[in-house]
Structure 1
Amino acid sequence: MRRSMLTALTLAFAVPAGAAIWQGGDLSRFFAASASSGDLLQGCTDVPEAVALATELRDRALRIERYMEALDTRKAELATAEAALKARATELRQQKSGIQSRRDGAAQAVREDIDRLVAVYDQMKPAEAAAVLTNLPPDFAAEILMRVQPETGARIIAVVEPRQAALLTAQMGARSVQND
């Protein structure tokens, strides 16, 4: 008789749970409802196995309910964190584009300044340009010589003392190799 009672109790819980699963329902409502029903043990309080089974099922239902609540809390926390990360990523992309545009603007300004300087050296007499270039750092002087008109650059290098001309020519060649 006790086995048939346990089988009946098992079927009493398994059939509605199976139906809920079959219909795609939410089992947490089923467990909460079954755990809170007062008539779960009606007529079975004298069977210790039934009382133990009902207690265990109620405890399991409560654990599952707490777990589902913890999952919902964790989902909400993850959604909040994801939104914060997306906002930060958007902010960083905007900062990056701002930095890039400022960098491009600064590079353009430097190019314009160098172009003006090159135009000045193009207009100078070769001897005057050579006197100024020999007092500049070699890499800067080589950059200017590379940008002036080739004929002007040749005249300037012809006026520079040979040792300095060799150094400037080497700098120009190294600059060309770096750009390739």
Structure 2
Amino acid sequence: MRKVLMPLLILTFLAPAALALWQAQGLSRLFAAFAESGELLQGCTDVPEAVALAEELRDRALRIERYMRSIEDRKTELAKAEESLTARLRELKAQKSRIRARQDSASSDVRSDIDRLVALYDQMKPDQAAAVLTNLPADFAAEILIRVRPEAGARIIAAVEPRQAALLTAQMGARSVRKQ
């Protein structure tokens, strides 16, 4: 008798589930229907296995329903986090653009200042330019010497003391290597 009763009970519980799925009801409504299994046990309350199975199914349905709710809550949290991250990303990209614009502007200003200095040194006499360049930091002096006209640069380096000229020439060569 027990061997016949278990498949009958399984069919009793699976039939409503199949019907609910067939009608495309939501999962939570499906499990809620199992949780209210009072009418399914009508006439079977004297079979302890059926009662235990019904309670087990009800408990599982309730756990699944809680789990589905927690998944929905997590989906909501993830959507909010994604929204927040997207907004932050947009903000960072805007800041990056502003910083890049400022850097480009500053670089342009520096280039124009250096161009003016180069024009100034091009107009100076080599002895005077050499005297000033020897008092500047070597990397800055090398930058100016690289940018002046080659003839003016050669005359200026010739007017510089040999030790200082070697240092400036090394700086100019090192700068050229760094650019490559």
TM-score greater than 0.5 by the shorter chain: yes
Q: How does 1:86-165 map to 2 (within 5 A)?
A: 86-165=86-165
The alignment yields a C-alpha RMSD, in angstroms, of: 1.8
Matched letter for residue 141 of structure 2: A
Q: How does 1:50-65 map to 2 (within 5 A)?
A: 50-65=50-65
Distance across 2 between alignment mates of 1:177 and 1:108:
23
> Is contact 1:133–1:141 with CA below 8 Å preserved after alignment?
yes
Gapped runs of 5+ residues in structure 2? none
Indicate the residue corresponding to 2:85 in structure 1.
Answer: 85
> Is contact 2:145–2:153 with CA below 8 Å preserved after alignment?
yes
Distance across 1 between alignment mates of 2:61 and 2:79:
27
Distance across 1 between alignment mates of 2:174 and 2:6:
92
Distance across 2 between alignment mates of 1:107 and 1:38:
80
Question: Identity, % of aligned pairs?
Answer: 69
> Is contact 2:37–2:54 with CA below 8 Å preserved after alignment?
no
Q: Tell me the alpha carbon deviations over residues 20-45 of structure 1, each in whole angstroms, 9 at most, x when there is no partner.
A: 44565433212211322432211122
Shift in Å, 1:164: 2.0
When normalised by structure 2's length, the TM-score is 0.90
Distance across 1 between alignment mates of 2:136 and 2:95:
37
SS where residue 18 of structure 1 aligns? helix
Distance across 1 between alignment mates of 2:39 and 2:82:
45
Distance across 2 between alignment mates of 1:72 and 1:174:
62
Distance across 2 between alignment mates of 1:98 and 1:174:
32
Matched letter for residue 38 of structure 1: G
Indicate the residue corresponding to 2:166 in structure 1.
Answer: 166
Matched letter for residue 148 of structure 1: V
> Is contact 1:134–1:160 with CA below 8 Å preserved after alignment?
yes
Distance across 1 between alignment mates of 2:24 and 2:145:
80
> Is contact 1:17–1:27 with CA below 8 Å preserved after alignment?
no
Bigger shift: 142-151 or 35-44? Answer: 35-44
